[in-house]
Amino acid sequence: MKMLDQIWVQNLCVVAGYSLLGTVLWYGTRSDRWRAAWKRLKADVPGMGALFVIFAYLLVGTLESLTISAESGNLTLLQKLASGVPQEKSYSAPLAKTTLSVAEPKPLKAVHLLGTDALGRDTLVQTLRATRSALWIGGLTSLIYIPLGVLLGMMAGYFRGWVDDVVQFIYSTVAAVPEILMLVAILMVLGKGLGTMAIALGITGWVGMARLIRGETLRQVERPYVAAAKAMGQSHWKILSSHLLPNVMHLVLIKFVLGFSGLVLAEAILSYLGVGVPVGTPSWGAMIDASRSELSREPLVWWNLTASSVALFILVLALNFFGDALRRAFDPKRGE
């Protein structure tokens, strides 16, 4: 019963995440600026190509996130689809027919496109499964740092005075501490795990969002529509939520996309350092970390490092391309 509850909780988290993303996009389509930006984005070939790549990663990550109950235990949909790929006894090179052993090579049960790792697991399957860790870290961290950064940034830019001074003091203090040291310290206290890593990255990641939104809010409060709302007697909360927030949401979206690539890299770096995801959790950083010893053995095992590095590189590149396309779409003069 407890196992079934965990499955439902994890699946509900996936559904809730997509529902939140859909709500934000639906909210944005009500704005003329967002509709005009979408028209410009559709004409941006590199941006749409990057969006297609991101959707492919999202699909793979979703298949690895949704869990079902099976006779052999809990399986993700991706594991279920890859259940026909057999596990070998040791390393095997890409498209090889025997294990990678000079002394006693053994025949493989199947041909593996990207070879296998030390435990005989298919490298392609492990690389695809590692997509979940990167996307979950990016999604969970965004749920922490975006609301925090937007709220504090808008309050600092709107109220100014002592509120602005307090917010600036807080984020200046956080920014003064080297980020990697703070991340490692928080993870050493809270322990390994996707949730604790998201908390650590969220605590250190809201500073940039707060600075960006504060600057834009300072510019927006000088606009006539804010003065008109105040003259009509609207409350501060009404002005912040109904007038200022829609006018800074495009910056939130751009910062989210560009920041997502940094979170993916941070997850890989922390896992490489050994303070990231728990042992046994598929991760590109963990695969790269395990490849250090593989590069010094004979025969050389290069495919695990190559597969994880290429998968990480393509996702980060696509996110940066799409972020730049969004910036051009929302502000075509700046993109020229």
Question: 251-273 pLDDT, tens per residue?
Answer: 888 888 888 888 888 888 887 77
- The CATH number given to whatever domain includes residue 176 is 1.10.3720.10
Does 174 fall in a domain?
A: yes
pLDDT of residue 5: 47
Does 70 fall in a domain?
A: no
CA distance linking residue 285 with residue 262, whole number of Å: 14
Does 3 fall in a domain?
A: no
Does 39 fall in a domain?
A: no
Q: Strands (DSSP E) along the chain, which ranges?
A: 67-70, 73-76
pLDDT tens, residue order, the chain (336 aa): 444 445 666 667 677 777 767 776 776 666 777 888 888 888 889 989 999 999 999 899 888 888 776 666 677 888 888 888 888 888 888 888 888 776 777 888 888 888 888 888 899 999 999 998 888 888 888 888 888 899 999 999 888 888 889 998 988 888 888 877 888 888 888 877 777 888 888 888 888 889 989 988 988 888 888 888 888 888 888 888 888 887 888 888 888 888 888 888 888 888 777 777 777 788 888 888 888 777 777 778 888 889 999 999 999 999 999 988 888 888 755 544
Does 203 fall in a domain?
A: yes
pTM: predicted TM-score of the whole model, two decimal places: 0.84
Does 289 fall in a domain?
A: yes
Tally the domains of the chain.
1
Please spell the DSSP secondary structure of 247-297, one letter per residue.
Answer: HHHHHHHHHHHHHHHHHHHHHHHHHHHTSSSPTTS--HHHHHHHHHHHTTS
DSSP 8-state assignment for residue 98: B
- The range of the structural domain enclosing residue 180 comes to 133-335
Residue 75, strand partner residues: 68
Is the separation of the CB atoms in 304 and 287 below 8 Å?
Answer: yes
Does 141 fall in a domain?
A: yes
Does 156 fall in a domain?
A: yes
pLDDT of residue 311: 93
Provide the CA 255 distance to its chain's centre, in angstroms: 12
CA distance linking residue 66 with residue 61, whole number of Å: 9
Q: Residues 6 or more apart from 68 whose CB is under 8 A from it?
A: 7, 74, 75, 76, 77, 80
Write the burial class of residue 173 (CB in 10 Å: 0-12 exposed, 13-18 middle, 19+ buried).
Answer: exposed
Express each pLDDT in 70-112 by its tens digit. 666 677 888 888 888 888 888 888 888 888 776 777 888 888 8
